Amino acid sequence: MTEIARVERRSGRPRSEDADRAIIEATLDLLAESGIAGTSIEGIAARAGVGKTTIYRRWRGLESLICDAMLTLKGPLPTLSGASLRDDLLSIAEAAARSRESARNRKVYACFVGEMSRYPALDAQYRETVIAPRRELTRGALRRAIERGELRDDLDLEVMSEIVTAPTLHWMLHHPDQTPSRELLEQLLDGVLGGLRPRA
Amino acid sequence: MTEIARVERRSGRPRSEDADRAIIEATLDLLAESGIAGTSIEGIAARAGVGKTTIYRRWRGLESLICDAMLTLKGPLPTLSGASLRDDLLSIAEAAARSRESARNRKVYACFVGEMSRYPALDAQYRETVIAPRRELTRGALRRAIERGELRDDLDLEVMSEIVTAPTLHWMLHHPDQTPSRELLEQLLDGVLGGLRPRA
DNA sequence: CCGATACGACACGTGAGCGTATCGAAACAA
DNA sequence: TTGTTTCGATACGCTCACGTGTCGTATCGG
């Protein structure tokens, strides 16, 4: 909805879809390199090989454009097998890792953490379309696991959700030049689920 | 070391320590409000009520100034009682929470996450003077706990360190408008140490 | 008092990005 | 072909920060 209405086409030269793609790609590239504050319409136009007019004709401004670019960043939500809590959480972690496979995407996520709060429209859309569905996915998996007796029921769901997701996200955030191996994801998850104290 | 050498004082008007303090405070304020990219010498001078000359006389440039400002951000390292792993880790978590008590400091930390990598000198100093000592403190506590049999010894120390610190740091990073209660810190820590599966 | 240095204030020219406007050419519908 | 719309390019006036230099004033040592 941030894009300017594409009114019913009647006549004249149609808008180039190549330009659309080039603009979005250039936006993500610049976000990764220079952060939100360092990304400008002029820079995007130059990198995309496009006139500024072409951008202003499609988006209201920088924030709208970044909103749209952001949406192309996130992959599809994983479908959970439901076989076990471990399987579900591993699927979620792997989906997160997959959307951070390219160095560019990792850097874009990193710059969002600190800068997003200064761009309210962007922040709201990010929370609603990216964070919230994934959060709900995790909470659902945890709820089902509690019902099946796979999880303690004496801890707040919010606290458990934090414990389960934080190590993976924290690792990925602070290792922007690496991709976590499947082994690492499993080690983190198993450590979290089983606990760090020796079983008596 | 980033500060311009304060040569042997001989005569003339001495530099104002009030100006020093005002400059550092203004720098941290602006970092919190606008991030690194949005912080300028002009802005700092204006907010501190100081001439630009006064800043350029003391620091080589913006990055040097931010380096010095950053050092005033971190409180002292906590001393660990060594009584138990839980006590030690709780002390570490509380020290981290304490240095994030003010909303301003929380926002400064948040902006560092995404932007720091674009400022190599700043990044190196931050890792060396802030992150490394705290990391070593945690690893030491974990090592001693393994020796005492308080911890599993089948997990990589790196992985355990990640699991132990991530939930607290992740929570604080994504709740920049709150301070974690002692109860929350304990819940997170106890969940991590005890694990999320029910004890058989 | 005198020389030295720091103080805040202000001005300089430079460069970047803003959002808008205008250009001739290109790509479509009728 | 004609009319319409988009294309990339370029230029506009505006604002902001850069780093430097220069004011007159304030504060120190000797």
* Model pLDDT for residues B80-113, shown as the tens digit of each residue: 999 999 999 999 999 999 999 999 999 999 999 9
- What residues have CB less than 8 Å from A192, skipping those under 6 apart? A163, A164, A167, B163, B192, B195, B196
pLDDT for B74 beyond 50: yes
Closest CA to A68 of A17, A30, A25: A25
CATH superfamily of A85-194: Tetracycline Repressor, domain 2 (1.10.357.10)
- What residues have CB less than 8 Å from B126, skipping those under 6 apart? B70, B112, B116
Q: What is the mean pLDDT of chain A?
A: 92
Burial B95-110 (b: 16+ CB within 10 A, else e): bbbebbeeebbbbbbb
The confidence score (pLDDT) of residue A90 equals 98
- Mean pLDDT value of segment A30-58: 96
Contact A35 B192 (CB under 8 A): no
Nucleotide nearest to B46 (CA to C1'): C8
Q: How many CA atoms lie less than 13 Å away from A30 in the CB half-sphere?
A: 23
CATH 1.10.10.10 fits B17-71, yes or no: no
Contact B196 A160 (CB under 8 A): yes
Q: Which residues pair with A59 in a beta bridge?
A: A3
pLDDT for A171 beyond 70: yes
Domains B17-71 and B85-194 share a fold: no
Instruction: Point out the residue among A35, A166, A193 whose CB comes nearest to the CB of B115.
Output: A35
Between the CA of residue A122 and those of A130, B114, B197, what are the distances in Å?
11, 16, 37
Distance CA B71, CA B192 (A): 31
The confidence score (pLDDT) of residue B193 equals 94
Query: Which tens digits make up the pLDDT trace of A70-109?
Result: 989 888 899 999 999 999 999 999 999 999 999 999 999 9
- For chain B, what are the domain ranges? 17-71, 85-194
Band of the pLDDT at B190, cuts 50, 70, 90?
A: very high
